[in-house]
Chain A
Amino acid sequence: MTQLSRNETIKGESRFLRGTIAEGLLEHVTGGIAEDDQQLTKFHGIYQQDDRDLRAERAKKKLEKAFSFMARLRIPGGVLTPAQWIAMHDLAAEHGNDTLRLTTRQTIQFHGIIKSNLRPAIQAINAAMLDTIAACGDVNRNVIASVVPQHAAVHAQVLETARAISAHLLPHSRAWHEIWIGETQVAGGEAEEEPILGRTYLPRKFKIALAVPPQNDVDAFAHEMGLIAIVEGGSVVGYNVAVGGGMGMTHGEPDTFPRTGDLIGFCTPAQVVDVCEKVVTIQRDWGDRSDRKHARLKYTIETHGLDRFRAELSARLGFALAPARDYAFARSGDPLGWVEGEDGRWHCFLFVENGRVQGEMLAGLRAVAAQHDGRFILTPNQNLVIADVAAGHKAAIDALLRRHGLTEPGVLRRNAMACVALPTCGLALAESERYLPELITTLEAEYQRCGLRDDEIMIRMTGCPNGCARPYLAEIGLVGTGPGLYNLYLGGAFDGTRLSKLYREKIGHDAIVAALAPLFAGYAADRRWGERFSDFVIRTGVVAATTAGNRFHTA
């Protein structure tokens, strides 16, 4: 038998995710925690990081790395009350780096929490009726859902389902409550079990997204499971089920690739939690626990074949999924600006550049939160919706946003999305969040020079190939390979249904602009009526269409 990966041993010996985390928090000699515990805190939504900008200087002074922690919330569907938003703002100001980072999994990340502030920070989160359980690690991550408050009834149903799935698949371990909140372990109490996840949890992360067509804001095919709501008569009658999507890959290892999920059928709202549970247990039992780069559900399905996977799912469920229903996606990304809901309330989709809420935007949103009685909804594209605004209140909110300079971005910027990368992310090979705004400024100038004005193009960047910003589904994807260098991918469909293809390898800023400017010019001159940029570059042969994940690396 192949050897289990190191993480499997750590998980197995962790006493249900406890390890020596609690002891490590009391250790004042270092700002970090033990290596094995760093794997375990992920299951509690916490990552040890360090400021990579300071590494060289601190090494010279023989100081340890500038350790701090990132904490990520679990917010199924991304809905917060204004009071929760204010509490999170306070937390970031007091214990973090005074920014809130909205992520592609519809949640908030806090950066720069030093070790001694971790417990107070998590306790503040708990006090706001939120948590960080299973926000990272080999578990079901935050369940994301389309942001469609304008369809209030459907949105409510989908949110309820997202929350039910999230709750059902949570670890049963009380470790999070003990370590961070101070709950005491009942001595001699009942032995813990993980009936769904198992005592070594899942082989790798597991992601679920719920989409409400025609919106594909969640990128339904980018996750282990995409659940596509089928709406009839204003109500969700069930979900099409897609399995085996996933973004991450490794440069130079063609056995690893992004993959779009396969549609395998339809289930009713009453069945959907059970379907999720059974897919999770198949992955728990069949997933590769020897090689973490090959451990996600997409590889399990590639290895065993979709037919065997379906048969196993039917066997575990005790019924077969119904045939998938018809549906159509129109777009990925978010619409921006005010949208009027079916019930007459208004919702403002606010652009947040790369999800980083700071400075004037933070101040502006706090002012909004102070007088808003609706909801704040985080989107899967790192934006924010001020939802449920009464018609009579809209002008006041609008005035506040304008007063704080929160206006609509240019046409390329509005669909541009970057991951965090440097200086905090340990995986980053290149800049992302700190560089994309500058690149977009240059590209918008080229775009306008070609006579393009209102044609949306989806651009996404990540600092490494793991794909947090879902770059392989973008029309233009840039993935860091080294300092200042990126692979350029083209041809991901605007509606999120087709992966992209590598176009240029390891190029810097000037060459990125040089590669894209002629394509903008060609698009402006030769596109067909309504043709998307990604469809244009495929029709004209600039890149071939990627028809399946396992053909991602084929020319």
Chain B
Amino acid sequence: MTGRLGTAETARTLLRAMLDVFPGRIAAVSSFGAESAVVLHMLAELDPAVPVIFLDTGKLFPETLAYRDALVALLGLSDVRSARPDAARLARADAAGTLWQSDPDACCWHRKVEPLEAALTDFAAWITGRKRFQGASRRRLDMVEAGPDKRIKLNPLAAWSAAEVERYLAQHDLPLHPLRAKGYGSIGCTTCTRPVRHGEEPRAGRWAGSGKTECGIHCPPAAPTQTWTSPA
């Protein structure tokens, strides 16, 4: 069988089928990070009005914000929505802005998991750019993650290799995130991201040295234990 031939065609076919079956009820979630341009470019070709949710944690690199604006303009994406943490809740949970030091899981919860959940409320499905090669936690990633009572998650690049990602970026002459030149393989918040060293996995620079590998938006949500409870 054709097997790995036409990886881009496969991803495009997946996205098209998803847009066909969930019209108006699907959003992409993008960090506008090191490899985000691939999925965004494919979506722009299929339907530039597909909502794209951008998680603005308040602690992002200025380069990421600039890259986002440049890419949005270049691709003509017409519905990019910034999901920000709720200011009042954040004031209670992370008044000093240092929660990332004491409890990075809780920080991610308030700045990413919760805002994303709110932003996705009206959507039946969402698109991610995750790939199996990115690290151990993603090695068994399926293209379609679905299940009873679960919001469907689509990973059109799941089976792509790093080389295929780079080939696509080059073939379509897509601009690269400026921090890539400084050695960043995966780009999150300024506080918890460092460049990767030679031989490391691309996501090794995220929460380096902490044992934490995922922010939580892709794991079954677990609220921080000592979290605030809303006053009734």
Contacts and interface: CB of A to CB of B under 8 A. Distances in A.
Contacts of A510: 2-7, 10, 159
Interface string A509-522: 11101111111111
Contacts of B7: 510
Contact of B147 (A451, A485, A540): A451
A450 B18 CA distance: 14
B6 A508 contact: yes
A325 interface: no
A526 interface: yes
A189 interface: no
Contacts of A507: 9, 13
A484 B144 contact: no
Interface residues of B, number: 32
A534 B17 CA distance: 14
A542 B20 contact: yes
A526 B22 CA distance: 9
Given A526-B124, A541-B23, A450 B144 contact: yes
Contacts of A520: 144, 146
A420 B200 CA distance: 50
Contacts of B75: none
B34 interface: no
A509 B13 CA distance: 12
Q: Which of B16, B18, B20, B23 has most A Cβ within 10 Å?
A: B20
A518 B17 contact: yes
A303 to B, nearest CB: 36
A508 B142 CA distance: 18
A98 interface: no
Contacts of A340: none
Interface in A503-547: 504, 507-511, 513-526, 537, 540-542
Contacts of B147: 449-451
A435 interface: yes
Contacts of B39: none
A509 B144 contact: no
A526 B9 CA distance: 26
A446 interface: yes
B3 A516 contact: no
Q: Which of B2, B22, B124 has most A Cβ within 10 Å?
A: B2
Interface string B1-32: 11111110111011011101111000000000
A540 B21 contact: yes
A509 B156 CA distance: 15
B144 A449 contact: yes
B62 interface: no
Consensus secondary structure, chain A interface: helix
A504 B1 contact: no
A513 B4 CA distance: 12
B40 to A, nearest CB: 18
Contacts of A516: 17
A40 B39 CA distance: 57
A450 B124 CA distance: 13
Contacts of B148: 451, 524
A540 B23 CA distance: 8
Contacts of A524: 146, 148
Q: Which of A450, A484, A525 has most B Cβ within 10 Å?
A: A525
Contact of A446 (B18, B125, B144): B144
A484 B1 contact: yes
Nearest to A438: B1
A518 B18 contact: yes
Nearest to A516: B17
Contacts of B16: 515
A515 B22 contact: no
A484 B124 CA distance: 33
B108 interface: no
B143 interface: yes
Q: Which of A438, A485, A521 has most B Cβ within 10 Å?
A: A521
27 contacts: A435-B1, A449-B145, A449-B146, A450-B147, A451-B146, A451-B147, A484-B1, A504-B13, A507-B9, A510-B2, A510-B5, A511-B6, A511-B10, A514-B14, A514-B143, A515-B14, A516-B17, A517-B14, A518-B125, A520-B144, A521-B125, A522-B18, A522-B21, A524-B148, A525-B146, A526-B124, A540-B23
A-B pairs with the 10 shortest C-beta distances?
A508-B2, A522-B21, A514-B14, A521-B146, A518-B18, A518-B17, A484-B2, A517-B144, A509-B1, A510-B10
